[in-house]
């Protein structure tokens, strides 16, 4: 006899013995583990709790589930391994929080601190770091092989300012007409520039011809 047949026989037996009410039949069928095989009386399964949302930031106080932790107090003193409940009590008595700072240690390392101030300070530092982040730009300085001293000084001051601001500089040296016959003058000029800024800049792309012009890229050290 198959399992289904045996269960059907049990149902008939239960009815014959007076298990006639709907509630009794439901209870009986649940007890024999057969209710899910027939469509008349579906089993109601208990509602499951929704998954716990991931916490933003370290665990604090009662969120720390480990029985023991390695405790560092508000003065920076390492108390070694301490019962978590004791550490939480110490933090509460100090008017502070127990904060898990190294969850991967065994046991995890926790510190007594003012978590509100700690969180505010961390957010402030992150905001300042974002402000200080700078997108490196490439500034262009155009030179001529026969540039005069005044123009050269103006170009060099601008170039040094770019390096101080953290930007790269693309130097474009353009030859016109018969100047192509005197490329050595342009080469000496670029060497002069490299020497002048050697303490604050380095060559990222050495001089190379692009048509009638020479391009060189310098980056701040």
Indicate which CATH number applies to the domain containing 98. Answer: 3.10.20.80
- Provide the domain limits for residue 105: 61-129
Do 125 and 143 lie in one domain? The reply is no
In a domain, 70, yes or no: yes
Examine residue 46 and state whether it is found in any structural domain, yes or no: no
pLDDT of residue 8: 63
Q: Which residue has the higher pLDDT, 151 or 29?
A: 151
Q: What is the pTM of this model?
A: 0.42
Q: What is the pLDDT of residues 172-197, one digit of tens each?
A: 999 988 888 888 899 999 999 999 99
Say whether pLDDT at 49 is over 50: no
Strand ordering across the sheet containing 68-72: 78-83, 68-72, 109-113, 97-102
* pLDDT, average across residues 9-34: 55
Confidence of residue 162 (pLDDT cuts 50, 70, 90): very high
The CATH number of whichever domain residue 149 belongs to comes to 3.30.110.10
Tell me the pLDDT tens digit for each residue of 103-117. 999 899 999 999 998
- Look at the chain and report how many structural domains it folds into: 3
Q: How confident is the model at residue 136 (pLDDT cuts 50, 70, 90)?
A: confident
So what's the pLDDT on residue 1? 62
User: What does the buried/exposed string (b/e) look like for 154-174 if buried means 16 or more CB atoms within 10 Å of the residue's CB?
Assistant: ebeeebbebbeeebbbebebb
Output the six-digit token pair for 80: 């070694």
Q: Are residues 146 and 213 in the same domain?
A: yes
> What is the structure's pLDDT at 35?
43
Percent of the chain predicted with pLDDT > 70:
74
78-82 contacts at long range (C-beta below 8 A, 24 or more positions apart) = 81/107
Which of 5-19, 23-37, 152-166: highest mean pLDDT? 152-166
Residues 67 and 116 in one domain: yes
* Tokens describing residue 85: 């409940």
**Predicted pLDDT of residue 93:** 93
Kindly state the average pLDDT of the residues 141-158.
93
Q: Are 118 and 74 in contact (CB under 8 A)?
A: no
């Amino acid at each position: 006899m198959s399992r289904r047949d045996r269960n059907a026989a049990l149902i008939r037996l239960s009815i014959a013995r007076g298990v006639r009410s709907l509630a009794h039949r439901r209870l009986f069928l649940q007890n024999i583990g057969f209710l899910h095989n027939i469509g008349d009386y579906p089993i109601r399964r208990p509602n499951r709790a929704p998954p716990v949302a991931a916490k933003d930031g370290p665990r604090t106080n009662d969120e720390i589930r480990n029985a023991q932790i390695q405790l560092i107090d508000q003065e920076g003193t390492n108390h070694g391994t301490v019962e978590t409940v004791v550490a939480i009590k110490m933090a509460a008595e100090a008017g502070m929080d127990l904060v898990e700072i190294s969850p991967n240690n065994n046991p995890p390392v926790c510190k007594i601190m003012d978590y509100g101030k700690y969180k505010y300070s961390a957010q402030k530092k992150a905001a300042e770091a974002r402000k200080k982040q700078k997108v490196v730009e490439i500034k262009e300085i155009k030179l001529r092989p026969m540039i005069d001293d005044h123009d050269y000084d103006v170009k060099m001051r601008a170039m040094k300012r770019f390096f101080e601001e953290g930007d790269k500089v693309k130097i474009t040296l353009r030859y016109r007409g018969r100047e192509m016959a005197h490329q050595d003058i342009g080469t000496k000029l670029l060497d002069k520039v490299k020497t002048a800024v050697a303490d604050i800049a380095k060559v990222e792309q050495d001089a190379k011809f692009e048509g009638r012009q020479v391009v060189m890229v310098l980056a701040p050290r």
